[in-house]
Structure 1
Amino acid sequence: MKIVSVQRIFLSVSFLLSCLAFAQNKSERELILMDKDWRFSFGHLYDTEKDFGHATGYFSYLTKTGFGDGPAAKDFDDRAWRKLDLPHDWAVEQEFSEKGSFSHGFKTAGKGFPEKSIGWYRKKINITETDNGKIISLKFDGVFRNSKVFFNGYYLGTEQSGYNGFEYDVTAYVNYGGENTIVVRADASMEEGWFYEGAGIYRHVYLQKTNPVHVAANGTYVTSQLKNNSTNVIADVTIENKGNYKGSIEIVQTVLDPQNKQVANFSENIVAPEFYQTIKHSSKLYVENPLLWSIESPNLYHLVTQIKQNGKVIDDYETTFGIRTIEFDPENGFFLNGKPLKLKGTNNHQDHAGIGTALSDEIQYYRIKKLKEMGSNAYRCSHHPPTPELLKACDELGMLVIDETRLMGINDYHLNDLKRMMERDRNHPSIFCWSVGNEEWNIEGNIVGERITNVMQNFAKSIDPTRPVTVGISSGFKSGISSVVEIMGYNYLGNGDIDTHRNQFKSQPGMGTEEGSTFATRGIYFTDDAKHYQSAYDRKPRPSFYSIEEGWKFYAERSYLAGMFIWTGFDYRGEPTPYGWPSVTSYFGMMDVCGFPKDNVFYLKSWWRTEPILHIMPHWNWSGMEGKEIDVWVNSNCDEVELLLNKKSLGKKKMQQNSHLEWKVNYAPGTLEAIGFKNGKKVLSEIQKTTGKAENIKLSVDKENVPNSKNTVVTVEVTDKNGLHVPTSNDEITFSIKGGKILGVGNGDPTSLEKDQFLDAISLVQITNFQEQKGVTATLPQELQNYPESDWKTAFKDRDYKNQAPSYIYRGEFELKNNLASSIVSFFYKKIGLETVVFINGNKVNASAEDSQKYILDSAILKEGKNTIHVVATPLQKIKDWDVMNTDPGIIQVITPSEPWKRKLFNGYAQIIIQKEESAKEVILSASAKGLRAASLKN
């Protein structure tokens, strides 16, 4: 468990020292990250026996308090379950099947797979006696989905949406000075979206401890009023009292600048709120010469809120914020800090190659850095609230954000979700707009949509009046939502006449919330529907959709439009339009699911960045195409470009604004070179060379990785004898690792049905036909005896606990399948006697040294098919008549080791994500393949 001070996981040492400088003593607030050491097992959607008997008791969790049964019970035996760390997505671990969900990437999880739709998580923690008197709560950033949470067998609540963060107070249920059990049951049988959403606890979990008088959850709201060279920072804080304290408290607000120096301070004495009540307090702090937050210089300030009681600090709470101004103008677009800024945005879902939705914090940064490198300055959360770490990355890296709620509506379900999202996220300077809906075709153009939008928009303004509200509209821009939404969100040029709508609503600002939906397979330069290949040349994808170039030109040429958001920045699982099975990911991204760029990235870089850019497509490996015409495109922002084949000029062409250049070139092996000119002078060149055959594996650490992080993204490729990247290679690479573990592998191939993860398979085998007969002595045999067959009867049936035999002999059966020699088979015994001897197929087995109730079974005594287990034990005695005696002898666990990690390259590339062990000095990744020189990487 990792203890985190106040509200942030990553705090610099200098900031901690600054905090200590003005803190009189340590606060009682602790935030403990609880991602380590969970136990996990699948349950079942409707078979209660396969769901471990959950909710079958006479009194279950909804009938009486504290009656969580099955895995929800505090002392349920989960030793045979899989051990894992969070974040975790069980869907990405599954195989692919044509019977799987189209929208969720054909994974064998969720709806249609009841044995893979319920996931149980359990974790044990100790809470000290000294914590008695504090408020103890569990905080979840998100569980997909329909989660039920239990603590020490007590039911805490249900959260339906997989995207909402939620918190439960467990103070009354804590076993102070001892062990406590957290249990989560996630039900991913129903989809919320039409895109891959994963399954399980895919975001962080925390244990929080506070004084009864404390800053409420998401209890600060920081705004600023910028005037000339100074700003007033208005800090609203909600104070909650979950105790009996009555009297005065002191509120201290301190602002630290981006260098962690104190620049403003305010304090005031107020009366504490009443028992289980809250009060709101507002402070105004003056900051001179503020450093503004912008996409180029994302300066971040920190507000530290302290609550003092009798001079002692009882709570402190940190809020990160930025000072900046935003404005939408219906004539001139978007302004940041008073300067016009064209929004160069992308839409994105939340999954990544190899790991699904279980993105570590570092991968969030990695993806935002990839988008920044492309020239993007804005990100739309499509179509749900993001994980907090994504917003943190956008704050720190300088990426504007549209934050979007999941579903439109006017009742508690909808408005409460919107409220929670906004109160959690409204201090992030990266967020410049709230989105309350997307492509709600049933209501977009009618009075119902207009009414709902008016309610949600006004409701949003009551929570945060500093940012505007938008909705993405796609079924025509004529009436309904389009008439009343504050910022018009145009989804696709072909869905209506944007200019006509703008002329009708000239006071309504607008932006392209979705544009593109183009199809491209990375590294493929011809369309082949039989192979599910889509050419990477930027083309109009469908009659009512436009190419990336057409879309950008349209928005770039209209000052009244704030900019556009491309669908999408990255490919994502699911929605493999225009195909279906066996395509399992989308084709829409500017980058594939790994983040490897498609050629459209370079078109955008040419016009979204300012430095000279030059890129040639396609590659120049076309064996068998000699003499045939190849389309050569050049993306650049140079004034002119000259193209040469084997040093012979094919002509110089002028580049038009926001365009590209094309040549028809008869293929000949060798060197294709482009030379870019500005003001008549050569400024850069780009070369595509015909390579030799693949000979060497190359591993490299991507520059977008977070420095010194535990998780590292590694690019895998092959080169020829001269070290040139081979763009057509599809070799299968096998990996091994020391000092760390592999989290996932990918290659960006939309049709790849290879495993994302290679994990040991754990199966739990029930002991069946469990019978007993009485023993005549309490002395336990060391060799299995012959017992009369006629004396066997159903175990524990009609047991007279006041008149038990000296011992009992129990017999049961369990079935084993293949791979006995390689599998690890263990018997996890659940105590049914005081003293016990266990026999497997007539052979006495001994308990393991690590656990006296665990028996690791030698493969030599096991057999495929039916195996027999005997347990001879002296009986447990009832102390009270109503005691419930255990009648379950335990379970057989079979661990089948996985095959080695491997992945085929796709058009020259693959990706592997590795994690360094906490105790390791370095991690060594090795890669090998048939016919290639192996490689290793130290990190």
Structure 2
Amino acid sequence: MKKVKLLFFLGLLLCSQYLSAQNKQRLINNWEYLQGDLGGIWEAIRPAKEGSPETVPLWQNVSLPHCFNALNSVDPDENYYQGPGWYRTQLSLKNPYTDGRTLLHFEGAGQKTQVYIYDTKVAEHVGGYDEWTVDITDAVNAFKKTEAYKTRFKGKVPLQIRCDNTRDLEMIPSDLSDFNVYGGIYRYLNLVYVPKVSVDKIFATASVDEKGILGKLSISGRLLNPTGVDTVSVKIEVKDPQGKVVATWGNEIKAFFGDKALWEISFKNPKLWSTESPDLYTVQTTITSKGDVHVHQEKIGFRNFEFVKRGPFKLNGKRLLLRGTHRHEDHAGVAAAMTEDMIREELLMMKDMGVNFIRLGHYQQSRIVLDLCDSLGILVWEEIPWCRGGLGGEVYKEQARRMLTNMIEQHYNHASVIIWGLGNENDWPNDFNEFDEQKIRTFMKELNALSHKLDPSRKTAIRRCDFCKDIVDVYSPSIWAGWYRGIYTEYKETSKKEFERVDHFLHVEWGGDSHAGRHSESPDKALSLVKTGGGADERDGDASLFGGSARVSKDGDWSESYIVNLIDWHLKEQENMPWLTGTAYWPFKDFSTPVRPDNPVPYMNQKGVIERDFKKKESYYVFQSYWTKTPMVHIYGHSWPVRWGNAGEEKMVKVYSNCSEAELFVNGKSMGKKKRNSQNYPAAGLRWMVKYQEGKNKIKVVAKTKEGKEIIDEITQEYQTAKWAKPAKLVLEKVSEKDSIVVIQARLYDENNILCLDARNYVTFGLTGEGTLIDNQGTSDGSRKVQLYNGRAVISVNLNRGKSVASVKAEGIPVSFLPLN
């Protein structure tokens, strides 16, 4: 893993040097933003009257990437903002090429975008997740001839961009989708200078036989040549993973329009790309015309993959169990506007958890994500956002076709990609008055054919649309054993039945919600209420917390304790399913959604193994214990400060580890050694029945690797034997303070001052004074309205070096106050 990280960071360094040399820069600073619309483009650029206080409308300073919904997407008291927003800046342009082209390269902006140079509209784009480029050369040249350029703007070029995420039924994805349809320039925007003729796209098809002996590379390209230059010189170099040139080709050719096949070459025994050794070659294409040179680089990998018919998945001729998860582009405090550093941290956390496969749900994602997957060795299923709602008209369908084409063309060269996803939950109606399965089938067939035409080398897939399962190459049904339907011990049997219904089965989306910090002494209690033998698929209404048949999603306690049991069982079973291609847990990180206002953290899907701000839940370590090789050990309960029960009662202590043996110590006394056995459920046999003492208990585990090396984990837990009655009062207290940031905690007691450890009341924090609540983060400790976890809830306050009074309230319980200085 250390080697992978080193190679990856070296690759990033080389990439940044290449981008700099190629006159490409990110436009990050010196932006202004206005939420809402303008009466017209003139309102964005009209000069303010000298000496006038009138500055309406009010713009705010922001940096890119930026999302309209950074905070309001998880505001518990209002719907998230959907509408227009404007951005403006002024560009200092210095194109180094004679008669070169000046481009704006959008890595993604939501959801409809208009681009203006001064008062001239130069482009429009519909689709919030694909990349697109605007040639602003002619508009800039025209503006430079105006008096405004010379006098008012002092040699700078005004750029205005209108984004709009207003609800629109004739646009994908549907607003019924279980995620926010964000607005804004929420991915990087690049200023790019290129010569008269430059590379637009390079398509490098790298293939190798199953034995890894004979590799083939076919390269075709597309030029950006708006002025119709006649002849160009093309040179292509292929460099191996160490940077050594292993093949070259060059020729002077007639400039071409559209795609042109350029070169084919064979390689003997190429270094193979795999999840363990993600070796990448570089294809460098140099275009020379009229003395100007443009260099374009792509990373490629030689690998052979196969979904065996009614069998497992193979990579480079060997079975590989796909150990996967999912990713939404969403993060605390910024929503979709994740920086490159944030994205890198997230992908590295996935890899450190043992992930070798990821489904990018439910839309094409940033090139940064795909580059990381290539470098880290994570296989990818990437899909377009045809998600829920049914099927719209021709405008709707044309967007789907366009986004599929863009996704495949833009991410064609990534060795990590093995599947193009065509849709998700397309059996989910309600956006239109017509829901016609045959029309959906017809359009799905069209997309399937288009995908194979654009890229015959990869598979197509969908999730949860049984009446289309025969159309695509790989199908994932809905199996939520132990959450939406059934109990988790039905997982293997249900999966086997679904596996036998299709040629190529892959199970994506399983798991369940957990409220971070909530733990239970009897987590599986709700399973006794659930009907078994009726399948494990999610059906209409199952995600609701009200009504319908008994199910863990409604009747369970949403504790981390239950989810680790569910995950533990699934992973244990997957080790003994030789026919299984693999699975992907839904999702890696909690994310915001407009359709779940009643969840413990309002407007959050809480199924992640980490919170929305990267804090790990206990379930992260369960995956590590099954999927990783670097020695690890983790006592369950790091976020469980107080356990409860009777005096002298035995309690289970679970340890998750990939080591062969572990010894547990409680208050300095050994509880004995245990051997790890993945089939000894729960915790692979690393569990002890322990009698806690009243008050503090120190718990330590010492695990041993096969080589005899010891690794240690320790926690301290209180043990409460006092029984509580009806909750009666809230107490608010300061936990810590650093650099004017105070952490406060609310705890719920009965009338005898006994902590109510199973309390799940909603509480609402408030603040008056000079400070501000750090809320609307979408986390269990960053939400002003939140369900208690074991009778407590935490939030932070920025005092701003002043005085404030914090409050907390719950229905039927007196408000509690806390002065803060």
TM over 0.5: yes
Residues 151 and 170, structure 1, Cα contact 8 Å, conserved in 2: yes
Match of 2:678 in 1: 657
Match of 2:43 in 1: 70
Q: Partners of 2:802 and 2:130 in 1: how far apart? A: 34
Question: Offset at 1:549?
Answer: 2.6
Q: Partners of 1:592 and 1:118 in 2: how far apart? A: 29
Question: Offset at 1:144?
Answer: 1.8
State the secondary structure of the residue aligned to 1:235. strand
Question: Offset at 1:148?
Answer: 1.8
> 59, 72, 77: which one pairs with 1:81?
59
Question: Offset at 1:375?
Answer: 1.3
State the secondary structure of the residue aligned to 1:324. coil
Question: Offset at 1:152?
Answer: 2.2
Match of 2:273 in 1: 293
Q: Partners of 1:647 and 1:304 in 2: how far apart? A: 62
Q: Partners of 1:186 and 1:282 in 2: how far apart? A: 38
- CA spacing shift, 1:362–1:744, aligned 2, 3 Å: farther
- CA spacing shift, 1:751–1:128, aligned 2, 3 Å: closer
Q: Partners of 1:358 and 1:197 in 2: how far apart? A: 13
Match of 1:622 in 2: 642
Q: Partners of 1:631 and 1:9 in 2: how far apart? A: 42
> 647, 653, 657: which one pairs with 1:632?
653
Question: Offset at 1:748?
Answer: 3.2
> 477, 487, 490: which one pairs with 1:490?
477
Q: Does 1:204 align with 2:235?
A: no
Q: Does 1:673 align with 2:677?
A: no
Report the AA paired with residue 295 of structure 1.
T
Query: For 1:62-90, what per-residue CA distance to the aligned partner results, in whole angstroms no more than 9, with x for missing partners?
Result: xxxxxx43327799989962222101123
State the secondary structure of the residue aligned to 2:690. strand
Q: Partners of 1:88 and 1:607 in 2: how far apart? A: 38
Query: Which stretches in structure 2 are left out of the alignment for 5+ residues?
Result: 1-7, 50-54, 145-154, 168-173, 430-434, 486-492, 524-544, 546-553, 720-732, 746-762, 768-773, 787-797, 806-817
Q: Partners of 1:498 and 1:625 in 2: how far apart? A: 37
Q: Partners of 1:413 and 1:526 in 2: how far apart? A: 50
Residues 521 and 749, structure 1, Cα contact 8 Å, conserved in 2: yes
Aligned ranges 1:298-317 → 2 under 5 Å? 298-309=278-289, 312-317=291-296
Question: Offset at 1:588?
Answer: 0.5
> 597, 601, 619: which one pairs with 1:600?
619
State the secondary structure of the residue aligned to 2:469. helix
Residues 632 and 658, structure 2, Cα contact 8 Å, conserved in 1: yes
Match of 2:496 in 1: 499
Question: Offset at 1:351?
Answer: 0.9
Q: Partners of 1:9 and 1:170 in 2: how far apart? A: 33
Q: Partners of 1:680 and 1:133 in 2: how far apart? A: 65
Match of 1:515 in 2: 510
Indicate the larger mover: 447-456 or 652-661. Answer: 652-661
Residues 511 and 585, structure 2, Cα contact 8 Å, conserved in 1: yes
Report the AA paired with residue 135 of structure 1.
R
Q: Partners of 2:569 and 2:595 in 1: how far apart? A: 23
Q: Partners of 1:579 and 1:608 in 2: how far apart? A: 34
Q: Partners of 1:428 and 1:593 in 2: how far apart? A: 27
Report the AA paired with residue 37 of structure 1.
N
Question: Offset at 1:569?
Answer: 0.8
Match of 1:537 in 2: 561
Question: Offset at 1:334?
Answer: 1.6
Question: Offset at 1:749?
Answer: 0.7
- CA spacing shift, 1:301–1:550, aligned 2, 3 Å: same
Aligned residues: 673
Match of 1:645 in 2: 666
Q: Does 1:241 align with 2:225?
A: yes
Q: Does 1:344 align with 2:323?
A: yes
Residues 204 and 300, structure 2, Cα contact 8 Å, conserved in 1: no
Rg (Cα) greater in structure: 1
Match of 1:688 in 2: 715
- CA spacing shift, 1:448–1:554, aligned 2, 3 Å: farther
Q: Does 1:450 align with 2:441?
A: yes
Question: Offset at 1:471?
Answer: 0.6
Report the AA paired with residue 653 of structure 2.
V
Question: Offset at 1:137?
Answer: 2.4
Q: Does 1:359 align with 2:338?
A: yes
Q: Partners of 1:9 and 1:80 in 2: how far apart? A: 41
Question: Offset at 1:648?
Answer: 3.8
Report the AA paired with residue 183 of structure 1.
Q
Report the AA paired with residue 454 of structure 2.
I
Residues 96 and 193, structure 2, Cα contact 8 Å, conserved in 1: no
Question: Offset at 1:677?
Answer: 6.0
Residues 522 and 592, structure 1, Cα contact 8 Å, conserved in 2: no
Q: Partners of 1:717 and 1:642 in 2: how far apart? A: 36
Match of 1:260 in 2: 243
Residues 450 and 480, structure 1, Cα contact 8 Å, conserved in 2: yes
Report the AA paired with residue 119 of structure 1.
G
Aligned ranges 1:118-517 → 2 under 5 Å? 118-128=84-94, 133-175=99-141, 178-190=155-167, 192=175, 193-216=177-200, 218-225=201-208, 228-229=212-213, 231-246=215-230, 248-273=231-256, 277-287=257-267, 289-309=269-289, 312-407=291-386, 411-442=397-428, 446-473=437-464, 479-494=466-481, 497-505=494-502, 508-517=503-512
Residues 697 and 716, structure 2, Cα contact 8 Å, conserved in 1: yes
Indicate the larger mover: 394-403 or 641-650. Answer: 641-650
TM-score by length of 1: 0.63
Question: Offset at 1:643?
Answer: 3.7
Match of 1:552 in 2: 571
Q: Partners of 1:283 and 1:680 in 2: how far apart? A: 51
State the secondary structure of the residue aligned to 1:174. helix
Report the AA paired with residue 86 of structure 1.
L
Match of 1:838 in 2: none
Q: Partners of 2:190 and 2:802 in 1: how far apart? A: 32
Aligned ranges 1:521-920 → 2 under 5 Å? 521-522=516-517, 524-525=519-520, 534-539=558-563, 547-574=566-593, 579-580=598-599, 583-619=602-638, 621-622=641-642, 627=647, 629=649, 630-639=651-660, 641-650=662-671, 653=674, 655-657=676-678, 659=681, 660=683, 661=685, 662-668=687-693, 669-676=696-703, 684-690=711-717, 748-749=779-780, 752-753=783-784, 899=800
Question: Offset at 1:567?
Answer: 0.9
Query: Which stretches in structure 1 are left out of the alignment for 5+ residues?
Result: 1-7, 21-25, 44-50, 55-67, 102-106, 111-116, 541-545, 700-713, 719-729, 735-742, 756-896, 905-928, 933-939
Residues 745 and 903, structure 1, Cα contact 8 Å, conserved in 2: no
State the secondary structure of the residue aligned to 2:108. coil
Question: Offset at 1:590?
Answer: 0.9
State the secondary structure of the residue aligned to 1:224. strand
Q: Partners of 1:716 and 1:423 in 2: how far apart? A: 48
Report the AA paired with residue 749 of structure 1.
S
Q: Partners of 2:184 and 2:803 in 1: how far apart? A: 25
Match of 2:748 in 1: none
